A and B are shown apart, each in its own frame.
Chain A
Amino acid sequence: MPPRLNILSGFRALSIQPRPLAQPCVAAQARRLLATDTTSNNASQIQDNNFNGVLRAKMEAFGQVPQEEPAPPAMSENEMALKQLQEAAYGLNTYDPEVHGHKFGVPALPIAPDMNHKRRYDTVVEQVTKLLMRDGKLAKAQRDMAMILNHLRSSPAPKINPAKPLIPGSPAPEQLPLDPVGYLTVAIDSVAPLIKIRKYAKLAGGGRALELPAPLHLRQRRRWAFGWILDVVNKKPSRGSGRGMFPTRVAEEIIAVVEGRSSVWEKRNEIHKKGTAVRANVFSSRMKGIKL
């Protein structure tokens, strides 16, 4: 049955409506229209209306129009956003971050350091893992690093050589296997050189390079130290076979460093000794006009 014709119905369009009251709970801009978000159905309602319109047209063609009154048109996203802007212009805060736009709420501040997926590992572990990587195979390097840490964890406490003291502030040797990341850090920082020898080509006379000590940053020092460890590891033959052997060799070398058996200590002493010797060149007359 078609709706009744009434002259009054013509005035409906002319009705004067007051300005809608500000509703602070609507924040269409911040809404994420997720598939599982059951609270924001605006887009789907629009789609439904379109679908219903098509359906209605088809049913009218067959003379079967449903009796219900047409639903009031839902507010589109754009209209909602405009409304929000209007409200903001009136000085109303329509956006409450605790309520809107967060399906699982806001995390507690301060955010834990490992919550960022790009910085989820310890800095030393992350740097050393990248140094372990060959052919861009980061996942393999990460697996190797995990095996290194497991090897350190399951090995007996190291016997410290007093002639090769570890970095000051390192924990007792009995504590080291309980904290494999700390174990690794202590080993690397203990053999990390403080300086490198920088060479200025042809400045020493006779075509020789003039050598100067140059300080290293923390990351650089660790990189040098682990590079030396890797050099030793790559020259050592495996005692076994299989994919666990490379991490085993690295872990054994790290233990050797902490116990003072490793040849990496000699490399560190060598570079420090040379750095002390070439300290005399810092104020050399040949360096005049050269920016360090």
Chain B
Amino acid sequence: MSAPNSLRCLLRPSAAVPRQIAAATWTPSPWIAPFSTTPGAGKAGTTPKKNVPKPKAAAPRGVGMNPTGKKQSMKKFKKAQGAKTAKPPLPGERKAMRKRIQLSNNNALPVEGLAELEPGTMLNPKNIGTMAALPGAMQDNLRSLEAFKATQFWPMFRQPATLIRSETVDLMNRMQSAASKKETLRLVVTGERITGKSLLLLQSMAYGLQNDWVVINIPEAQELTTACTEYAPIPDTDPVQYMQNNYCLKMIQAIRKANASVLSKITTAYSHPELPQNIPINSTLLALANAAKEPESAWVVFQALWKELMRKGAARPPVLFTLDGLPHIMKVSDYRSPAFELIHSQDLALVRLFSDVLSGATSLPNGGAVLAATTRGNAPRSPSMDLALAQREAEQAGTELPKPEPYFKGYDLRSEEVLKTVSVMKLKGLSKVEARGLMEYWAASGIFRATVDEKAVAAKWALSAGVVGEMERVNLLTMHP
């Protein structure tokens, strides 16, 4: 009989000891004020006895200050009871609802003559200013890569379609030439808020998926650096690097789902003894990706997959590696080392892998592109990134390089190193031709009800300065029918 008691004494007192016992055994010291942040402790008889009001039941009805005999409440206002009665949402349900992406709307009119995206559509300058619908199979792939964002206006239309703008054609042609020459296109997409940076990444992913590239995407860089996913030091690394296994597993699953057709055609060339299951040589890369079933092995599997993709020749496809939210990896992360020092984002292995390709330290032997998009909405301040991008822009324009502020200490040299030799594509507003193509698509979808003529286009274009997100706000987020 003594065993349960002795075990119970190992537990925390609050969990093990019934409340009445705790209240009876623990008497407050006269030196301690009768206050506790724990609600239970305050109620359980810790207040001195003279402050406790007499129970109302003892007073005769109709006598004293409370003639109704009801329990007197000192609260001035009653609390609203409505919200409490309903069942609270399960953990994660609210976020899932917030991140839910609806890609079609059967109420919207189908657009006549809307061409579907084909492998060469985005290469042709003739298509600038036209809309191209994303084919159904590709929608699933892009969805698994998390290329769609919840803030975009997908649920307004019958099927998702994107505008082909001049920057799109420019970027796709550069990607194509890089792949054909087996070079690496290293590019940062920048621009003001809602100028279409994430959508340009989506278009590049669509191009990659249609042209049999292997597409890897980090949809939100902040998920890697804001200390919201698990991390662990990688053994035998100096300086210590950290792997993020849960995130890696999620990423491998996305890669496997989106690139299944490509990965099933490529076979492994190395034996990978470190993997948890035996993957013999000449098995498909899909089988290799399938080896990641537990978070513990995710980083190892990802490394193996990367090693296979980086093998020169052997009919390996080009690789597209994209990341949205560049400023989040251009700073010290929110993670802490065992010595409780902040970890730099570049010490996170996955971020490091991306940065090495972006900086040119490692190149993609079979060609491909590494694209990073800055974000302006929810971005930490990264003076080094801003300076480096401004310098690269000035280099491209052939103007004088902006200089760092001499007395400013907030620069981050490791981040600057990454962006030393990248090329920069700055997105600005649409041209009027592109704006007209977009508005005609909205009109054909039954959302924009007025006639799309030169005057209407000019009015909306002037209101939004051509910025595509502002045009959406002006036309799609209004109280007009």
Contact = CB atoms under 8 A, between A and B. Distances in A.
A125 B94 contact: no
Interface residues of B, number: 28
Contact of B82 (A182, A235, A239, A242): A235
Interface stretch (B37-45, B97-105, B343-351): B97-105
B274 interface: no
Interface string A153-169: 11111000000000000
A50 interface: no
B478 interface: yes
Contacts of A46: none
Residue among A147, A236, A237, A244 with max Cβ neighbours from chain B (10 Å): A237
Contacts of A178: 107, 446
B477 A240 contact: no
B97 A241 contact: yes
A210 B18 CA distance: 58
Contacts of B156: 150, 153-154
A156 B155 CA distance: 12
Interface in A169-184: 177-182
A150 B98 CA distance: 16
How many chain A residues sit at the interface, stated as a range, is: 35 or more
Contacts of A122: 479, 481
B85 to A, nearest CB: 9
A245 B478 CA distance: 17
Interface stretch (A18-26, A138-146, A277-285): A138-146
B161 to A, nearest CB: 16
A149 interface: yes
Interface string B206-219: 00000000000000
B112 interface: no
Given A150-B156, A239-B89, A156 B107 contact: yes
A121 interface: yes
Contacts of A52: none
Name the prevailing secondary structure of the B interface residues: loop
Contact of B478 (A126, A146, A241): A146
Contact of B477 (A150, A181, A182): A150
Contact of A121 (B80, B86, B100, B480): B480
Nearest to A178: B107
Contacts of B79: none
Given A142-B479, A143-B477, A154 B97 contact: no
Interface in A202-251: 234-242, 244-245
A49 interface: no
A129 interface: yes
B353 interface: no
A178 B446 CA distance: 8
Interface string A103-129: 000000000001000001110011001
A126 B481 CA distance: 12
B479 A239 contact: no
B236 interface: no
B75 interface: no
Q: Which of B80, B82, B446, B481 has the most CB of A within 10 A?
A: B481
Contacts of A235: 80, 82-83
Interface in B441-463: 446-447
A151 to B, nearest CB: 9
A172 B300 CA distance: 59
A266 to B, nearest CB: 16
Q: Give the most central of B96, B156, B479: most A CB within 10 Å.
A: B479
A258 to B, nearest CB: 14
14 contacts: A122-B479, A142-B479, A149-B481, A150-B155, A153-B107, A154-B105, A154-B155, A154-B156, A156-B107, A236-B83, A238-B94, A240-B96, A240-B98, A242-B98
Given A149-B481, A237-B88, 4 more contacts: A146-B477, A234-B82, A236-B82, A238-B94
